[in-house]
Structures are given as structure tokens and as C-alpha cells.
Amino acid sequence: MFEHVLLAVDFSRHSEIALKMAAAICEGKPKRLTVLAVCDPADTLPLEGVFGFSDRAFEEGKQELHEAFVGKLKEFCLLLEQMELQYEGIVEEGSPAKTIVETARDRECDLIVIGSHSRRSILDIGLGGTTTAVVKKAPCPVLVAALPEAEEAPAA
């Protein structure tokens, strides 16, 4: 049914569940699996020009952030390698929801798998701001992976 699955990850526990779901969907079948991590420098780096932060320093910071995401993505996908699943890992820069939707459209994915929450902000309470935006704008079905309730509850 699904030939090209896009797995959007942010390295959270919810993304780990999404990875396992995507792996189960693709296991034993000749399907394409693209694993996407989106780095948003606006969330991590100081604004350009603020407090004497130069354009060059900002660009260097963006490059370091991208390289860190590439390393984290390789580590995150070890389960796929252990299962001998073929995948393409990509790191893009930009707004996560917009980038996920554009990537799914550009690569003609027919399923997006995403965690129910991200680690971005307080706005991700509930279903999650990024997840909600992806569900609303996706060009294909979206499978939302959530932690079991027992794992999600804070320790007392």
C-alpha cells in the first residue's frame, strides 16, 4: 500500500516510537524509507547581528548545527541498520512543519510517520505544534506515533 515512507524525527522518545513504526511498515518489503531531521537554526542559534554576533559566526554556527544533526541522525538510525533496512537519511534546514510537508511533496512520499510531540517548545502541548501543522498540510496520510500512556506520565 505504501511505497515511499517519510519518517520525520527530532530525536525525542516520540521519534523513537515513530522509527519503530516506520521500520515495521517497511520490514521485509522493498519500500523506500527516507528519514528526515530538520534543524531550525532560529531555535538554537542567536539572531544574526545581535550582541555582536557576526554573519560569519552565524554561518559557522549553522554549519556546526547541521553537522551535529547529521551525526545524531546516523546514531538514531542504528536500529534500521541492525534490521538491515535500507534508508536514506537527510538533514534539512528550516521550519520543521513546512520542511516535512515540502519534503513529502517533493519526494512523492505516500506516508509520513511522525512522533506526536517534539522537543521544540511549550506550544507542542497537546498533539504538538509541528505534528498538528504536518497533519493539516500533508500531501499524504500521516501516521502519528505516541508513547504509551504509562511511559508519558511524569514520575511522582
Helix (H, G, I), strand (E, B) or coil at 90: strand
Query: Which burial class, exposed, middle or buried, applies to 83 when counting CB atoms under 10 A from its CB (0-12, 13-18, 19+)?
Result: middle
Name the residue with higher pLDDT: 145 or 28: 145
Query: Is the Cβ–Cβ distance between 111 and 101 less than 8 Å?
Result: no
Query: Is the Cβ–Cβ distance between 73 and 89 less than 8 Å?
Result: yes
Highest mean pLDDT among 2-6, 30-34, 45-49: 2-6
Give me the pLDDT at residue 145, please.
93
Helix (H, G, I), strand (E, B) or coil at 32: strand
Among all chains, which residue has been given the C-alpha cell 512543519? 97
Helix (H, G, I), strand (E, B) or coil at 6: strand
pTM of the model: 0.83
Give me the pLDDT at residue 123, please.
47
Query: CA nearest 90: which of 21, 132, 79, 102?
Result: 102
Give me the domains of the chain, ranges plus CATH numbers. Answer: 4-152 (3.40.50.620)
- Cα(first)–Cα(last) distance of the chain, in Å? 43
Q: Which pLDDT band, with edges at 50, 70 and 90, does 30 fall under?
A: confident
pLDDT, one tens digit per residue, over 77-136 is 998 999 889 999 999 999 999 999 999 999 999 999 999 865 544 444 445 688 999 999
Among all chains, which residue has been given the C-alpha cell 518489503? 29
pLDDT, one tens digit per residue, over 37-73 is 999 877 655 555 555 556 677 677 788 888 999 999 9
Q: What is the Cα gyration radius of the chain?
A: 16
What is d(CA 14, CA 24) in angstroms, rounded to the nearest whole number? 16
CB atoms within 10 A of CB 143: 15
Give me the pLDDT at residue 108, please.
97
